[in-house]
Amino acid sequence: MSENLLTPSEQGYNGQGYQLTTMDKFIGLARSKSMWPLPFATSCCGIEFMSTMASHYDIARFGSERPSFSPRQADMLLVAGTIAKKMAPVLRQVYEQMAEPRWVIAIGACASSGGVFDTYSVLQGIDKVIPVDVYVPGCPPRPEQIIDGVMKLQDLVKNEAYSRRDSPEYKAMLATYGINVN
Ligand code: SF4
């Protein structure tokens, strides 16, 4: 990896023939540049995600060109579209089947808040059933906005402590959703 791609804190301490950094920084950098997406697309925002994946916007530039349709082989859940309340348990099951560490982006107004569908049948934001790391506004958001959301998530991932997933605070946060981890 070219050294000038790294921030001063990521560069650590360098000398002739060695480089020192911390495991947190090393693992965070590696994770953030290799996020495997699971697209959970239910309606129009999903089309914008397809465009984001395709050659013009080329999400491969961010290390995320490998979509997974198995939750067990994905670490970035991308929810794009209106989520009906009947669909909420399915989304929740997909999230629970993902291994830690896992992250979630709510793409567009519907996934973030229910959007214009303030009705009895639509979930008013996916954070009613699963935790969300990044919200992307828009109806629909353009691919540039989705990429911006991915880059925001990369920043979070890069700076996340390696031990966060084992912390009591993280487990308590999941417990508020009724999700238990061992
Ligand atoms: S936010 Fe707008 S574009 Fe996206 S799924 Fe909802 S209605 Fe469709």
Residues 138-153: tens digit of each pLDDT: 999 999 999 999 999 9
The structure's pTM equals 0.90
Strand boundaries in 16-119, DSSP class E: 18-20, 37-41, 76-80, 103-107
| Cβ neighbourhood burial of 141 (10 Å; 0-12, 13-18, 19+) | buried
Over residues 21-30, the pLDDT tens digits come to 888 888 999 9
Q: Is the pLDDT of residue 171 over 70?
A: yes
Query: Is any atom of ligand 1 closer than 6 Å to the C-beta of 110?
Result: yes
> Of all atoms in ligand 1, which is nearest to the CA of residue 140?
3
Residue 3 to residue 110: CA distance in whole angstroms: 41
Best CA proximity match to 122, nearest among 88, 91, 93: 88
Residue 173 to residue 133: CA distance in whole angstroms: 12
Which structural domains are found in the chain, ordered by start? 35-174 (3.40.50.12280)
Q: Whose CA is closest to atom 2 on ligand 1?
A: 139
Residue 14 to residue 12: CA distance in whole angstroms: 6
Query: Is any atom of ligand 1 closer than 6 Å to the C-beta of 82?
Result: yes
Q: Is the pLDDT of residue 16 over 90?
A: no
Query: Is any atom of ligand 1 closer than 6 Å to the C-beta of 43?
Result: yes
pLDDT of 8 reads 64
Average pLDDT, the chain: 91
Asked whether the beta carbons of 9 and 25 are under 8 A apart, the reply is yes
Residue 61 CA to ligand 1 centre (angstroms): 26
**What is the sign, positive or negative, of the torsion defined by CA atoms of 47, 150, 102, 134?**
negative
Residue 158 to residue 55: CA distance in whole angstroms: 26
Residue 43 CA to ligand 1 centre (angstroms): 7
Over residues 38-58, the pLDDT tens digits come to 999 999 999 999 999 999 999
Residue 9 CA to ligand 1 centre (angstroms): 39
Q: Whose CA is closest to atom 8 on ligand 1?
A: 44
Show Cβ contacts of residue 88 under 8 Å, excluding neighbours closer than 6 positions: 123, 126, 128, 129
